[in-house]
Amino acid sequence: MTWAFQFSLLPTFFDPADTQGGASFVVLYALHDALVKPMPDNSMAPSLATAWQESPDGLTYDFQLRQGVTFHNGEPFTADDVHYSFARYKGTGAGELKNKVKAVEIVTPHHVRFQLQAPWPDFLTFYATLATGAAWIVPKNYTKKLGSAKFHEAPVGLGPYSFVRYQPGVEVVLEANPTYWRQVPHVQWLVLKGVPEVTTRLAMLKTQEADVATGLAGGGEAVRSDPRLQLASVAVPNTWWMVFTHQQYDPQSPWFDRRVRLAANHAINRQAINEAVLLGYGVPTGSIIPRKIDGALELEPYPYDPQHARQLLTAAGYANGFDAGECPVNQVLTGVGEAVVNDLRAVGIRTILRSREAAAYQAAHRDKT
């Protein structure tokens, strides 16, 4: 089975220690396994840990580990691997996790204990969901012997698929793990391809070069109108938003004025973008925090009101609008970016769209360029 994804498949995706975001989990779910992880029927499902307990004072978490499980290379899975995997984790949230975890103690080969500096109700949310990827386990002996850099070239895990080969920037080939503890996959060979252009992914579907394509924003209607294809809506806990990076903190920037930021909010027709890009399957929202996350405040979006947006710009001293420079957008969201930029231009906020590949986009955002 061949999957065409809307992002490039990076070698860092093969190592749980490097987990930086959602795209990584496409590979992690195939190659690796976690103590606890979200599954379709349970947002915190027992996996390599069969059970866990929190102490009454909230300072310790004890995990009982699944026995008889082996890595793809035959090494047995033990608490030592859990301790090692946590120690080498350096991905998203690593600083927060390691500041709050006092120690990881190996009680027995199949019992591991996490000791916290202070009670932290969000420990499992950080450790055992897609917030970080810290709960995903690698083999200690193999990884130490090979080294982290080489692990990217020959990853070994506990997942339903084992690594066969990787063609940088093109595809990853995986083979079903015949000893996977949960259930041996029905699909023997899995080919994951990174195909950033939506038109190419659509063409691959139509020519049967791909069995599944994801991220079809802007191309869903072409799938729905083809009787040979099936369009599936998957509601993921994800939001799309504009961010002004350092500009809103610069007194010389128009974005420093809250009225300008409000004008931009009222200028964007979220429902029209939803209908055009996602065929109405999306949910306009007023927060960058996905509604599905526990404790999220369900804020409604600002209403689409271009007239009020122009009034706000006039009040801020920009009656004729202003030139807002370049607006970079992740390549896979070019359609969304075009719609947003057009809405902003309609009220006088003139900006130029620049579509960038995901890695370049993230680097520019990090470097504030």
pLDDT of residue 194: 93
Q: What is the pLDDT of residue 8?
A: 85
CB 191 within 8 A of CB 249: no
Protein fold of 247-366: Dipeptide-binding Protein; domain 3 (3.10.105)
Q: Where do the structural domains in the chain lie, given as residue ranges?
A: 35-148, 247-366
Tokens linked to 231: 């369009």
Rg (CA), the chain: 23
On whether the 35-148 domain is CATH 3.90.76.10, my answer is: yes
- DSSP assignment of 223-261 equals HHT-TT--------S-------TTGGG-TTSGGGSHHHH
In the structure encoding, which two tokens stand for residue 309, read together? 């947006």
Tens digit of each residue's pLDDT, the chain (369 residues): 999 998 888 899 999 999 987 788 999 999 999 999 999 889 899 999 999 999 999 999 999 999 999 999 999 999 999 999 999 999 988 999 999 999 999 999 999 999 999 999 999 989 998 889 999 999 999 999 999 889 999 999 999 999 999 998 789 999 999 999 999 999 999 999 999 888 999 999 999 999 999 988 778 888 989 999 999 988 777 888 888 877 888 999 999 999 999 999 999 999 999 998 888 888 899 998 888 777 788 899 999 999 999 999 999 999 999 999 888 888 878 888 999 999 999 999 999 999 888 778 777 777 877
Residue ranges of alpha helices (H) inside 68-185 are: 79-88, 94-100, 123-128, 140-146, 148-151
Query: What's the CA gap between 318 and 337, in Å, rounded?
Result: 23
Up-side HSE of residue 158: CA atoms within 13 Å toward CB?
A: 27
Q: From CA 160, how far away is CA 163, in angstroms rounded?
A: 10
Q: What are phi and psi of 198, to 5 degrees?
A: -65, -35
pLDDT given at position 262: 97
| Coil, helix or strand at residue 262 | helix
* Single-letter amino acid, residue 116: L
Strand 161-167 and strand 111-116: pairing? unpaired
What was the pLDDT predicted at 244? Answer: 80
pLDDT attached to residue 28: 96
